[in-house]
Amino acid sequence: MVVEVIMPKLGQTMEKGKIVKWLKKEGERVEKGEPLLEIETDKTTLEVEARGSGILRKILAREGEVVPVTKTIGYIAEEGEPLPEEAAPEATAPTPTPTPKAEAPSVEKPKATVRIKASPLAKKIAKEKGVDLTQVTGTGPGGRITKEDVLRYLASKAAAVAPAPPMPVAKPAEEVHVIPMTSMRKAIARKMVYSKTNIPHFYISTEVDMTEAVKMRQSLISTIEAKTGVRLSFTHMLVKAAAMALKEFPQINAVYDGENIKLLGDINIGIAVGLEDGLIVPVLKNADKMSLIQIASEASRLIASAREKRLREDEFVGGTFTISNLGAFDVDSFIAIINPPETAILAVGRIKEKPAVVDNKIEIRKMMTLTLSADHRVVDGVLAAKFLQRVKALLEAPYNLLLPQ
């Protein structure tokens, strides 16, 4: 049975995809469910699995080509099976060979001539300079072309073709390497420019004492990993704290539609994941209804799928709030751009030891900076501060994250 390989339609808005790489060559065997090729959409790069088993008999679209969705880009079949484009053509009646007709002798038609009125001197200059007098406007009596008309025509032509003085070009210090923008990179650029241009951002920051959170993670990490195979991370704890705080402050979990503020019923938290060719935000749906262990398990699965380019579209759309954690890269703090149409995004810095005052004593504590970017059309400073204050309180008393919801 011949299996068509088609450009998949991965979402309602997807109209085309770019073939990044074929993972199999023509003539190689492929099994159903095995990764067959990589495609790039304006949102992500992902692998497409084979829909059937057999030999990749024909590749119709090469790497780098952009193909409309549902178009056939290859065929999988067993040896000897006829492919659609190899089917025998329909039998048709032979077309009779036409009897050649005797050609009539060609008769050269005389060319129409136009008598041009010009002075003898004008004709002489025109002949010497190769000027077509039909292109010259005469200003003499009755439209007669004069010497001055020819000279004026020559001057105008010279001015028209005279090259502009060359502009000085700055010599680059070194060779420039041009990197073509991928579809994902272009989509990120469009979205971020839209966000910064249309959303009035404001930013607030706070320091969180993560000393107790570090202790709790250390005490639970081995047990959770033994039972689930997942290592509990601080990002998982941040997702849980944010989900609990969003439930208490629903106006942060909202969208602005140009006229009204819509409070969203679901709390879907996205986690920004950096890839070689861009950024993607897998989304934990209904994060407020998950336990910390469930969040750890689902977030680990989604992040692994994102890095392996196996996310489905429904796994990276529908977010209502985003967390971006750059702590693993020794970043102390940063501000993030809101991921539209969301209202806010939380930027997370690294945990580092700092002196802090505790019970009137100076102690070395493990501190972390959180920065909230919020849409001022939806949220004011006090509300944003209360939300961030609640996230801070939950992280500083981390065993609250283990309580059933």
Which stretch of DSSP H or E encloses residue 221?
helix 211-228
Of the candidates 65, 43, 14, the residue with the CA atom closest to the CA atom of residue 187: 43
Residue 404 region by backbone torsions, left for phi larger than 0, else alpha for psi between -120 and 50, else beta: beta
Of the candidates 55, 49, 44, the residue with the CA atom closest to the CA atom of residue 6: 49
> What residue type is assigned to position 80 of the chain?
G
Of the candidates 135, 165, 138, 158, the residue with the CA atom closest to the CA atom of residue 149: 138
Residue 345 region by backbone torsions, left for phi larger than 0, else alpha for psi between -120 and 50, else beta: beta
CA distance 299 to 234: 12
Instruction: Give the burial class of 396: count Cβ atoms within 10 A of its Cβ; 0-12 exposed, 13-18 middle, 19 or more buried.
Output: middle
Instruction: At 224, give phi and psi (nearest 5°).
Output: -65, -40
CA distance 164 to 218: 72
Angstrom distances, CA of residue 34 to CA of 38, 58, 87, 305, 309: 12, 17, 28, 15, 14
Angstrom distances, CA of residue 74 to CA of 4, 56, 130, 185, 239: 6, 8, 60, 27, 42
Strand order in the sheet with 66-68: 45-49, 35-40, 16-22, 66-68
Rounded to 10 degrees, the C-alpha dihedral 276/204/317/307 comes to 20
DSSP per residue, 20-85: EEESS-TT-EE-TTSEEEEEE-SS-EEEEE-SS-EEEEEE-S-TT-EEETT-EEEEEE-TTPPPGG
Q: Which member of 177, 201, 236, 376 is catalytic?
A: 376
Which residues lie across from 346 on neighbouring strands? 323, 372
Which residues lie across from 271 on neighbouring strands? 323
Active-site residue flag, 236: no
Of the candidates 56, 11, 12, the residue with the CA atom closest to the CA atom of residue 37: 56
Are 323 and 233 contacting, i.e. CB atoms less than 8 angstroms apart? no
Would you name the residues annotated as active-site residues? 376
